[in-house]
Structure 1
Amino acid sequence: MTATYAERLAALTAERGRLCVGIDPMPGVLDAWGLAHDVDGLERCARGIVEELGGTVAVFKPQSAFFEAYGSRGVAVLERVLADIRAAGALSILDVKRGDIGSSMAGYAAAFLGADAPTRADAITLSPYLGVGSLAPAIQAAVAGGQGLYVLARTSNPDGGTIQLADAGGATVAQHVVDTVAALNADNDHAVGLVVGATHRDPGCNLDAFNASILAPGVGAQGGTIEGLRAVFGPALKYVLPTASRDVIGHGREALVGRAHALMGL
């Protein structure tokens, strides 16, 4: 029987720790690596991150936008990066933040989830703006393929609060997302996690009863700290994947291992 995403994640993080390294080959990162702003520079940076850290880091989070910016050739690089992550025995969370309804959501699911998906990842991020229920095609595909999902609840950016902290019948929108996802998980192999930024002292949602993976971006350059994680997540800390990108990858290839290891063992 194929292991679920939650089972694979638990086994790997027990071995390697819970640090998730973001693969964000933005122009400033390429500059720090001494690479050109072209497809070759993109590939050398992104694949170089996996070459250096793939044997010790449990989870990588490639940001699809930086690959899509180079068109079809950039997406081809992304597919190779995802293959590299698999070959290294690590897990990939592809940050695509897709969200749609019906057949459109099913189309996104076919692109990233399932054995035959051309841009297959171990998990992807999703936006619930059209309602958590609209994500059903992706949830079904993820469970069938032993993959995972991370639904945006309280994002790390300052502007997110204008919507995520709005009142939704006596609770914040973020809390509504948390509660709805928690209710889904009992029947879906705990495959549906949350995105809750590490940058908020008070995230505006109670995570104490949540029992699936939580992706926590914003460690480092956005102001989140390892020391502050307990204050944000409380009892849910054991499910948290602290996620750092620029703080690890933004200082050149030679600094990668040292900066990642400083955050590992979480």
Structure 2
Amino acid sequence: MDEHGPLCVGIDPHGSLLGDWGLPDDATGLREFSLRVMDAVAGRVAAVKPQAAFFERHGSAGLAVLEEVVAAGRATGTLVVVDAKRGDIGSTMGAYADAYLSDGSPLAGDALTVSPYLGFGSLGPAVELALATGRGLFALCLTSNPEGAEVQHARTADGVTVAAAVAARAAALNEGASPLGSVGLVVGATIGDAARATGVDLAAVNGPLLAPGVGAQGAGARELAAVFGDARRQVLASSSRGVLRAGPEVGALRDAAGRAAAEAAAALR
């Protein structure tokens, strides 16, 4: 983040976007799209965030493209956050961890998004493997979809909101880490005062905060200040549409990513 600025570019090759780029909605179009984005932004932004679902919909050939994206990130020194939102229990969670976090796995980027809503403790295998291999996790905490509040704003028997409980567990894992720990949170950049309303202390998490919604989805300096306050130094701003809408030309994508990175840095300064 320090070298390339606090921007993560989402790689979201949904079918309509492939069509807008004049590409077929198949594995060949997926590969052309994804590697063109990597060519434009790799080494110029802090991270990329391929959305695993858009690769999985093309079966084994799509997963092979995801492996290429991970390899391209490694080759160019660009962090890869695999946005798979995995969450399960026991040996199944362990298998997900092996796939996305173990050394030698072609799907293992630098971090993985995970869902803690089977109980934060269910993420144990992923936490253990991430810490052992030097990778990171981003646990869903306060998301921007309106349905999320049904679970995230609910209160436990102790009177604490579920979101605050998730944040507290991440903070405990990151205690004493410098400059930041390896267990971060996903916090939407457009959630307004939800962190305050739910009692989530983002600065105390002492981990990175992945913030979707910057740029085209409406979050700028004012919104980031309102959501993150003193925790802004921890934010990795995520933008997808703001870059990808530039179209299929590598030069245009590169320029869009540069503008988005500068805007994110200014907004979080």
Asked if TM exceeds 0.5, the reply is yes
Q: Is the Cα–Cα contact under 8 Å of residues 112 and 138 in structure 2 kept in the other structure? A: yes
- Amino acid of the residue matched to residue 257 of structure 1? R
Q: Is the Cα–Cα contact under 8 Å of residues 184 and 205 in structure 2 kept in the other structure? A: no
- Amino acid of the residue matched to residue 133 of structure 2? G
Distance (whole Å) between structure 2 residues aligned to residue 141 and residue 128 of structure 1: 16
Instruction: Give the counterpart of 1:259 among 242, 256, 264.
Output: 256
Instruction: Give the counterpart of 1:49 among 29, 32, 37.
Output: 37
Structure 2 runs not aligned, ≥5 long: none
- 1:174 is matched with 163
Describe the shift of the 1:187–1:207 C-alpha distance in structure 2 as closer, same or farther (beyond 3 A).
closer
Identity across aligned pairs (percent)? 49
Q: CA deviation at 1:199?
A: 1.1
- 1:67 is matched with 55
- Amino acid of the residue matched to residue 104 of structure 1? T
- Equivalent residue pairs, number: 254
Aligned positions of 1:104-143 closer than 5 A: 104-143=92-131
Q: Is the Cα–Cα contact under 8 Å of residues 226 and 242 in structure 1 kept in the other structure? A: no
- 2:210 is matched with 215
- Indicate the larger mover: 238-247 or 187-196: 187-196
Distance (whole Å) between structure 2 residues aligned to residue 50 and residue 62 of structure 1: 10
Q: Is the Cα–Cα contact under 8 Å of residues 143 and 191 in structure 2 kept in the other structure? A: no
Q: Is the Cα–Cα contact under 8 Å of residues 242 and 260 in structure 2 kept in the other structure? A: no
- 1:87 is matched with 75
- 2:193 is matched with 202
Distance (whole Å) between structure 2 residues aligned to residue 172 and residue 222 of structure 1: 26
Structure 1 runs not aligned, ≥5 long: 1-12
Distance (whole Å) between structure 1 residues aligned to residue 11 and residue 174 of structure 2: 28
Distance (whole Å) between structure 2 residues aligned to residue 52 and residue 19 of structure 1: 14
Distance (whole Å) between structure 1 residues aligned to residue 188 and residue 248 of structure 2: 26
Distance (whole Å) between structure 1 residues aligned to residue 170 and residue 243 of structure 2: 30
- Greater relative contact order (CA < 8 Å, ≥ 6 in sequence): 1
Q: CA deviation at 1:226?
A: 4.2
Q: Establish whether residue 30 from structure 1 lines up as the match of residue 45 from structure 2.
A: no
- Amino acid of the residue matched to residue 148 of structure 2? G
- Amino acid of the residue matched to residue 13 of structure 2? P
Q: CA deviation at 1:172?
A: 1.6
Distance (whole Å) between structure 2 residues aligned to residue 262 and residue 28 of structure 1: 24
Q: Is the Cα–Cα contact under 8 Å of residues 32 and 250 in structure 1 kept in the other structure? A: no
SS of the aligned residue for 1:252 comes to coil
SS of the aligned residue for 1:219 comes to coil
User: What TM-score do you get using the length of structure 1 for normalisation?
Assistant: 0.91
Distance (whole Å) between structure 2 residues aligned to residue 62 and residue 126 of structure 1: 14
SS of the aligned residue for 1:15 comes to coil
Distance (whole Å) between structure 1 residues aligned to residue 131 and residue 221 of structure 2: 31
Q: Is the Cα–Cα contact under 8 Å of residues 127 and 151 in structure 1 kept in the other structure? A: yes
- 1:144 is matched with 132
Q: CA deviation at 1:116?
A: 2.0
- Amino acid of the residue matched to residue 51 of structure 1? D
Describe the shift of the 1:30–1:223 C-alpha distance in structure 2 as closer, same or farther (beyond 3 A).
same
Q: Is the Cα–Cα contact under 8 Å of residues 29 and 252 in structure 1 kept in the other structure? A: no
